[in-house]
């Protein structure tokens, strides 16, 4: 398994649990779950680019 699929799986599982446990309504759970997923994946991509430029 490479890094990016691992990030996607981690973000999927973690954001599912966060969405269900941190909000009360089904609509709020879905919205918060998607929000967490985007933040997980987005921050991983952003930090990866940051490290890429630092390493150059």
Partner 1 sequence: MRYSQKRMATEENKNAAAGSGSQSGAKAATQPAAQQGFVYLPLIAGWLVPGAGHFLLGKWIRGSLLAASVLGMFVTGLAMKGELYTSVHNILDILCLAGDLGNGLLYVAGRVAGWGAEQVQTTVADWGARFIVVSGLLNVIAAVDAHNLRTGRKS
Residues interacting with partner 1, by CB under 8 A? Answer: 1, 6, 9-10, 12-14, 16-18, 20-21, 24
Of the two residues 14 and 41, which places its CB atom closer to partner 1 in the complex?
14
Q: Among residues 14, 2, 23, 1, which one has the least CA distance to residue 41? A: 14
Q: Closest distance between partner 1 and the C-beta of residue 23, in Å?
A: 9
CA quadruple 23, 25, 29, 32: dihedral, nearest 10: -60
In terms of Cβ atoms closer than 10 Å to its own Cβ (0-12, 13-18, 19+), residue 33 is buried
Of the two residues 21 and 53, which places its CB atom closer to partner 1 in the complex?
21
Of the two residues 12 and 41, which places its CB atom closer to partner 1 in the complex?
12
């Amino acid at each position: 398994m490479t890094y990016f699929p691992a990030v996607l799986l981690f973000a999927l599982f973690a954001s599912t649990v966060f969405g269900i446990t941190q909000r009360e309504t089904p609509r709020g759970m879905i919205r918060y779950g998607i929000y967490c997923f985007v933040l997980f994946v987005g921050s991983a991509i952003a930090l990866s680019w940051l490290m890429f430029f630092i390493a150059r």
